Structure 1
Amino acid sequence: MTSSRNPPHAERPLRIVVVNTIVDHAVHTDLALAAQVQRGNALRIGLLEAGYDIIASLPADLYLPERIAQLQPDLIIIDAESDARDVLEHIVIATRDERRPIVLFTEDGATASIDAAMAAGVSAYIVAGLQSERIAPVLNVALSRFRQEEKLRAELDDTRHKLADRKVVERAKGLLMTHHGLTEEQAYQRLRSMAMNKKLKLAEIAQRIIDVEDLLG
């Protein structure tokens, strides 16, 4: 039964998908399997006690991207006993078009594994720390980091778009100056007037002028 106590940062419980590594019973001892079950129980207890909503527990297989796209979770948790490279490959595919915070709990503390996970978009990489009382604080930090990264990403994209638009406008101004003998200010004012008349952005009208020039050669 899910706790009614919601996380302090959300108006509703976060919808969480837990991704588990596929256990190879041929190579795992009974002791290792028991330890993995214990880890999984600790994870679920911590999530439920913190008021999170576990909407699915999925294996890391080829169908994972499709299932995540269908479920649309707010956050993805990976429970991986050791090397999680295969899991991360599926997660990267699943979150390629719509980024989501990802938290990885694992026993693998190798630097190469950590670097690979962070490069893949993992928001938090927790080694040997899957105690139920730690779940909520870890997720809060991961969510905060994810939001900051998304804000920086949006700001960077906005800057790139502005620079691209500026280049387009500058080229269109140059064409008007060359073909109509205008000064730079006159070319800019003509672009501005055309944009207003057409109810388009300055960069859009500038791109139309460039397209016509390219078409006519």
Structure 2
Amino acid sequence: MNQDLRILVVEPDPERVRAIFDALKDAGWSDVKALGHMSALDRTVREFAPDIVLIDLANPDRDTLEHISHATETSKRAVALFVDETDDILTQAALSAGVSAYVVDGLKMERIKSVLETAIARFKIMRQMQSELDAAKQALEDRKTIDRAKGILMRQRGFSEDDAYNLLRKTAMSQNRKVIDVAHALVTAAELLS
């Protein structure tokens, strides 16, 4: 596991902060910053740019979870949330907010390393899945645009589908562009002229 992680700890109790810092140091992490108040979370995340945010809360509510999700930008970093108690609705809200680890029964120092490692691994998996989903969506949109461009060529020039695609490809090659870029330009021009 990467020992160069920047970790932000959100915990109001200074004694607990010392115990968490000691546990993190024992686990091999030393680039750690503490934050005593949730109100400064947005600014501190921007300034410190942590890889993971560790938050210890007794009883979170939906508003707090939304604030955590927004402030920590859960799509950019792992968030481990330790709570004393929860219910199904809050658990679901935490997971929907993008929290990487939602641990009920509070923060136990002997579990901190394994929980953070799990949170980081889960975050990486979720980010990879989102990246693959975004790529698939973009590929589908590109395919639709290329099909529209082929349709325009087929209607206006009487080309077959293969001939229309070959013209798009040939044009892209001669202009040192991608087929999707040529298709996009053709669709945009056709929309302007219609």
TM-score by length of 2: 0.91
Q: Structure 1 pair 97/104, CA: closer, same or farther in 2 (3 Å)?
A: closer
Give distance in 1, aligned partners of 2:74 and 2:6. Answer: 19
Q: What amino acid maps onto 1:73 in structure 2? A: P
Q: Structure 1 pair 117/97, CA: closer, same or farther in 2 (3 Å)?
A: closer
| 1:100 has 2:91 as partner | no
Aligned to 2:92: 115
Aligned to 2:43: 66
Give distance in 2, aligned partners of 1:81 and 1:169. Answer: 54
Distance apart, 1:56 and its partner CA? 2.0
What secondary structure, in the 3-state scheme, does the structure 2 residue paired with 1:18 have? strand
Distance apart, 1:37 and its partner CA? 5.5
1:90-129 CA-partner distances (Å, limit 9, x unpaired): 3222244852110001102222211111110111111124
**What is the aligned-residue RMSD (CA, Å)?**
1.9
Using the aligned pairs only, state the percent identity.
37
| 1:207 has 2:181 as partner | no
Q: Which has the higher helix share?
A: 2
Distance apart, 1:86 and its partner CA? 3.9
Give distance in 2, aligned partners of 1:215 and 1:169. Answer: 17
Distance apart, 1:156 and its partner CA? 0.8
Gaps of 5+ in 1: 1-8, 22-35
TM-score by length of 1: 0.82
Aligned residues: 193
1:28-76 CA-partner distances (Å, limit 9, x unpaired): xxxxxxxx56544432221121121343222211x42232122111101
Query: Taking CA–CA contacts closer than 8 Å with sequence separation of 6 or more, which of the two structures ends up with the larger relative contact order?
Result: 1
| 1:128 has 2:105 as partner | yes
Q: What amino acid maps onto 2:28 in structure 1? A: G
Q: Structure 1 pair 48/153, CA: closer, same or farther in 2 (3 Å)?
A: same
Gaps of 5+ in 2: none
Q: Structure 1 pair 200/206, CA: closer, same or farther in 2 (3 Å)?
A: same
